[in-house]
Amino acid sequence: MSCASSSPPPWAATAAPPDAASPCTSAWFAAALLLVALTGLYAPVLLRLAQQWWSDSNDSYGFLVPLFCLWLLLRQRRQWRALPFQPARSGWLAIAAALALLLVGQLGSELLFTRLSLLLMLAGLLLALLGRAWLRCLAFPLGFLAFMIPLPTLIYNQLTLPLQGLATRAGVGLVAWTGIPVLRQGNLIMLPGAVLDVVAACSGIRSLLALLALATAYGYLTEPRWGRRLLLVLAMPPLAVASNAVRIGLTILLTLRFGDAASHGFWHLLTGLQVFLVALAGLVLLQRLLGRGAAGPARSQYA
């Protein structure tokens, strides 16, 4: 799918007479005022969001999300010249809904509403000022910004507990295949001379959210078909769980060999990096298998 259109944009026409410069200047001035107003309106939302990225290591990948979206926009900038300029009135309804969502979020101290309001506002502005073709062309960068919004605490806790238990059972199961006896009681792993506690931070939820964003970006850049992109994203949760189970299994083996110090410091950091490497390797392998199963080689169109 391409962002291109056969109809030329207004700025691609022949040079306008001198008396047409004033409307153009007014349009840019109005756009600048709108940008300033939006910055002031959403500055507290963005500031608090950045503070959460900085203070919580679970959400620190959020800094990379807008940078990746900006990179995508720069890659597509040549296609913008071919897009028609057709503002849609329905965009103003989206803007009104975004303002209402922002107000409700501020009155109810609900951070999720205020952050979703920002995405809805951006979509509404694209639709109201530029048109549907622009919204379709920039839909992926705009939608990808959703990954910068951390999960609400309630949903985060609901996902953490099941993943915590699943990762513990899977990690112990991997070690059991080697014939080494391991005793598990809940999320506690009893070893000779050491007790490992698979805490919430080791549940895999931290890596899962970042890996989902990674799988979405990777699929968009490497696969031209939306079906394959979706398959890569859906494959990431089991890949993340499997790689986290490998991490716990390695931690058990290292603890048996080097003692309790293997579950902290350098070894803990190294096994944490392994989660991303194993999941990324599985993602690349799956994408290659999908490519071999296709009828012919396909090239990504970044659409």
DSSP per residue, 263-295 = GSHHHHHHHHHHHHHHHHHHHHHHHHHHHHHSS
124 shares its domain with 157:
no
pLDDT at residue 47 above 50? yes
pLDDT average, residue stretch 172-187: 79
Residue 8 lies in a domain: no
Alpha carbon distance 61, 42 (integer Å): 21
126 shares its domain with 209:
no
Alpha carbon distance 189, 175 (integer Å): 11
More confident residue, 285 or 294: 285
pLDDT average, residue stretch 145-167: 82
pLDDT at residue 97 above 50? yes
Residue 45 lies in a domain: yes
170 shares its domain with 263:
yes
How many angstroms separate the Cα of 58 from the Cα of each of 5, 91, 246? 41, 34, 20
- What is the pLDDT, as a whole number, of residue 247? 83
286 shares its domain with 201:
yes
Residue 105 lies in a domain: yes
Domain boundary among 99, 127, 148: 148
Confidence at 297, pLDDT banded by 50, 70, 90? very low
74 shares its domain with 198:
no
- What is the pLDDT, as a whole number, of residue 301? 44
Q: What is the pLDDT of residues 203-234, one digit of tens each?
A: 667 778 888 999 999 999 988 888 899 999 99
Q: Which residue range is the domain that position 221 belongs to?
A: 153-293
Domain boundary among 111, 129, 148: 148
Domain boundary among 148, 163, 187: 148
168 shares its domain with 214:
yes
Give me the chain's average pLDDT, please.
79
Q: What is the pLDDT of residues 58-79, one digit of tens each?
A: 788 889 999 999 999 988 888 8
Q: What is the pLDDT of residues 240-289, one digit of tens each?
A: 888 888 888 888 888 877 777 666 666 667 777 777 888 888 899 988 88
How many angstroms separate the Cα of 203 from the Cα of each of 119, 215, 279? 29, 19, 15
End-to-end CA distance of the chain: 5
Domains in the chain: how many in total? 2
Residue 198 lies in a domain: yes
137 shares its domain with 167:
no
Residue 100 lies in a domain: yes
51 shares its domain with 162:
no
70 shares its domain with 177:
no
Alpha carbon distance 111, 160 (integer Å): 20
Residue 202 lies in a domain: yes
pLDDT at residue 20 above 60? no
110 shares its domain with 235:
no
pLDDT at residue 12 above 50? no
Reading the block at residue 132, the tokens are 């549907």
Alpha carbon distance 263, 145 (integer Å): 35
Do 240 and 277 meet the contact criterion of CB atoms below 8 Å apart? no
70 shares its domain with 132:
yes
Q: In the sheet where 188-191 sits, what is the strand order?
A: 183-185, 188-191, 194-197
pLDDT average, residue stretch 168-180: 81
- What is the pLDDT, as a whole number, of residue 298? 44
Q: What is the pLDDT of residues 23-42, one digit of tens each?
A: 456 556 666 777 787 888 89
- What is the pLDDT, as a whole number, of residue 181? 76
206 shares its domain with 222:
yes
How many angstroms separate the Cα of 19 from the Cα of each of 15, 32, 131? 11, 22, 26
Confidence at 135, pLDDT banded by 50, 70, 90? very high
In this prediction the pTM is 0.78
Q: What are phi and psi of 25, to 5 degrees?
A: -65, -40
Residue 9 lies in a domain: no
Residue 303 lies in a domain: no
